[in-house]
């Protein structure tokens, strides 16, 4: 805990941009208490005392939940912990502070004009973006300010920061982890997940968040697994570095005995047309924000505001059509991938852009759409997914994503552990 706080408080570090609130005294007191409990054999779990960061989207008793916004700065402190936060507290994890994020979680890039944007640890002098919306969450772990982070994922908001910072990020089947006490972006798509340094760390946190037993991660061989590699949509417009890393990763996995079948998934290419009259995110975020916009719209990030306001143009019929189209999409894609252990694809199509390259709105919106594209497919599918690092040490960070149908989370973790072992092995 003391080592994490030292890094947070380093004047040359990113602590001030990563954390919107640091609970220094309370965190140290809790760490001391867990040490005392452990010394007499009374620690609540083997993980008691581990410092983790919490995205500024979750209620923590006695704290103000701002969701990275100025519009909620005067909000009353929460009376209770969010349901998922309460589960982690019961296990003895210590919350070191609240992390920065894209305002109201509405972007995959991680920019925040109100509180500053945490800089990506990779090539930091060039000021690359961290990925979002859980931007501070990813950097807090990458910079060892916390040993794991809890974020949310509506279209990639755990997996994108993980891919951009060389970490592991998990998006569970949405209904597995309770979302009470978390400010929503889109109730149809929101999920709660961890960012950490390994598959096993994410599996542990996910099990606690979902109130389930930890899956056995060591009983699967790659030679027994069959992966689907979609040719449609998710391989379009890949950055050269991403394409090379993905090819190398797939080759290593196949060399270890996994069967990888390239398949067409035409439904993926239909997603832009399905959302042509507006997305679930726009419709559902507008429903939550519409009353606050009447008095607080001037305090919003204009780039976030414009996308929320787009929901005002969607009719009830448009929204119902969208829900029905999603149900058809889920049924059709699930049928295509039913015989595979997981789907494999790049997490993000590009390496982390520089902040300076996103100063113009046109570039910002195009880049945001491309960064979100692959991850958002899984949210629309109501599936589960994990991002693993696939780049060479010192190179631009890139992520490999494995995904499954809904409620296949435990199998996905077992597949991911086998893939992680191969990608981190010294063998070529």
Helical residues (DSSP H) of 173-264, grouped into ranges: 199-210, 240-255
Query: HSE (CB half, 13 Å, CA atoms) of 126?
Result: 11
User: Cα–Cα–Cα angle for 328, 334, 336, nearest 5°?
Assistant: 105
Q: How far is CA 127 from CA 68, 120, 124, 354, 395, in A?
A: 20, 7, 5, 6, 15
Whether 277 is catalytic is no
Judge whether 133 counts as a catalytic residue: yes
Distance CA(68)–CA(17), nearest Å, equals 11
Measured distance CA(109)–CA(370) in Å, rounded? 10
From the candidates 53, 55, 200, 387, give the one annotated as an active-site residue: 55
Backbone angles phi and psi of 404, in degrees to 5: -135, 170
Residue entry with tokens 């979750």:
58
- For residue 252, say if its preceding peptide bond is cis, omega within 30 degrees of 0: no
Distances (CA, A) of 364 to 250, 283, 309: 30, 21, 18
Q: Are 301 and 68 in contact (CB under 8 A)?
A: no
Between β-strands 51-55 and 149-152, what pairing exists: parallel, antiparallel or unpaired?
Answer: parallel
Q: Catalytic residue, from 53, 69, 107, 157: name it.
A: 157
Which among 379, 376, 380, 278 is positioned nearest to 329, based on CA atoms? 380
69, 133, 140, 285: the active-site residue: 133
What are the C-alpha distances in Å from 326 to residues 188, 313, 319, 417? 10, 20, 11, 30
Closest by Cα among 376, 163, 346, 164 to 243: 346
CA 302 to chain centre: 23
Query: Catalytic residue at 157?
Result: yes
Active-site residues, by number, are 55, 133, 157
């Amino acid at each position: 805990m003391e080592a994490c706080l030292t890094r947070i408080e380093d004047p040359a570090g990113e602590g001030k941009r990563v954390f919107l609130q640091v609970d220094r005294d309370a965190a140290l007191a809790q760490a001391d208490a867990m040490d005392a409990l452990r010394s007499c054999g009374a620690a609540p779990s083997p993980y008691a005392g581990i410092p983790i960061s919490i995205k500024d989207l979750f209620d923590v008793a006695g704290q103000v939940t701002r969701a990275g916004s100025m519009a909620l700065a005067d909000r009353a402190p929460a009376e209770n912990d969010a349901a998922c936060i309460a589960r982690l507290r019961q296990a003895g994890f210590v919350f070191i502070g609240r992390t920065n994020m894209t305002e109201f979680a509405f972007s995959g890039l991680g920019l925040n004009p109100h509180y500053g944007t945490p800089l990506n640890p990779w090539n930091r002098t060039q000021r690359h973006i961290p990925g979002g919306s859980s931007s501070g969450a990813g950097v807090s772990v990458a910079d060892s300010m916390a040993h794991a982070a809890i974020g949310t994922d509506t279209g990639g908001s755990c997996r994108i920061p993980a891919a951009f910072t060389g970490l592991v990020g998990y998006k569970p089947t949405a209904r597995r982890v309770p979302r009470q006490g978390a400010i929503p972006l889109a109730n149809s798509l929101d999920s709660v997940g961890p960012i950490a340094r390994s598959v096993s760390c994410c599996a542990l946190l996910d099990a606690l968040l979902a109130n389930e037993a930890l899956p056995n991660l060591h009983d699967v061989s790659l030679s027994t697994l069959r992966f689907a590699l979609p040719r449609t949509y998710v391989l379009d417009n890949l950055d050269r570095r991403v394409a090379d890393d993905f090819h190398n990763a797939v080759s290593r996995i196949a060399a270890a005995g996994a069967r990888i079948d390239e398949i067409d998934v035409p439904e993926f290419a239909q997603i832009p047309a399905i959302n042509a009259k507006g997305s679930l995110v726009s419709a559902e975020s507008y429903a939550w924000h519409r009353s606050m916009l009447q008095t607080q719209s001037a305090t919003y990030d204009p780039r976030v505001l414009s996308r929320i306001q787009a929901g005002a143009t969607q009719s009830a019929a448009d929204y119902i059509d969208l829900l029905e189209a999603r149900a058809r999409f889920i049924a059709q894609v699930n049928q295509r991938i039913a015989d595979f252990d997981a789907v494999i694809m790049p997490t993000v199509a590009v390496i982390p852009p520089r902040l300076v390259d996103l100063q113009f709105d046109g570039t910002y919106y195009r880049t945001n759409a491309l960064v979100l594209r692959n991850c958002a497919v899984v949210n629309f599918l109501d599936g589960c997914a994990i991002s693993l690092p696939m780049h060479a040490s010192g190179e631009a960070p890139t992520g490999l994503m494995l995904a499954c149908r809904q409620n296949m989370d435990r199998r996905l973790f077992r597949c991911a552990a086998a893939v992680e072992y191969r990608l981190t092995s010294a063998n070529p």
